[in-house]
Amino acid sequence: MDFGKFFSKEKTFRPKKKFQQGTMRYELHKKAEASLNSGLDLKSCVSLPAEEDFNDWMAVHVVDFFNRINLIYGTICDYCTDESCPIMSGGPKYEYMWCDGNKYKKPTKLPANKYIANLMDWIETIINDESVFPVSQGKQAPKSFCDSANSINLTIGLLQWFYRMYNNVYVCSLQEAHINTCYKHYYYFIVEFKLVDRKELEPLKDLTERICH
């Protein structure tokens, strides 16, 4: 499957986060990327490879998922406007409000495009923080990566936000096979390592059961 033809470079929403060639993170990234494009069973591809570090496997996937959802959203950002998407919705039963403790100190209703713009700015800041997601030669994930990610809601928080973005993509009725494949890869990963509460996955439950089981 050629993702390059579907994800046009002109549609990039944010600069792509890259791992430095020659690093172990880069090799793990290439391994994960090859799995996505190989046509293999994605459910088995998310399992931690033998003798690989879980922290690195986690960090690589978070960055890769960010890059993919970034590109996916680039395909709908032109027509997801204040008028067409007045709220950040996960369907008729779900609505998400934005709160960052800074500009928006209380949960605030925003059009989906503004919600996602704020969200992507926040995620990009974390992804580009090499003390959390190092990509350079000789740098490794902090030993406390998983513990600190849990305590300050980094990794699990990021993965949960990615789910909300997929939710919005599907609300916009964008169900291309390529997007379904990216979603399946993401879904199998969070389920494999129990990273997102099942209650958070309710909005796309029917679609998930249809394409992931």
Question: pTM for the whole thing?
Answer: 0.79
Q: Indicate if the pLDDT at residue 155 is higher than 80.
A: no
Domain residue extents for the chain: 3-212
Distances (CA, A) of 145 to 20, 81, 130, 156, 202: 20, 37, 12, 12, 28
Quick one: tokens of 29?
């990234």
| Residue bearing the bigger pLDDT, 23 or 99 | 99
Q: Cβ contacts of residue 148 below 8 Å, gap of 6+?
A: 142, 154
Q: What is the pLDDT of residue 53?
A: 81
Q: Mean of the pLDDT values across residues 109-124?
A: 91
Quick one: pLDDT at residue 201? 93
Lowest mean pLDDT among 144-148, 158-162, 176-180: 144-148
| The CATH fold of domain 3-212 | Butyryl-CoA Dehydrogenase, subunit A; domain 3 (1.20.140)
How much is the average pLDDT of 39-55?
A: 80
Instruction: Please report the pLDDT score of residue 151 as a whole number.
Output: 34
Distance from C-alpha of 178 to C-alpha of 172, rounded to nearest angstrom: 15
AA identity, residue 66: F
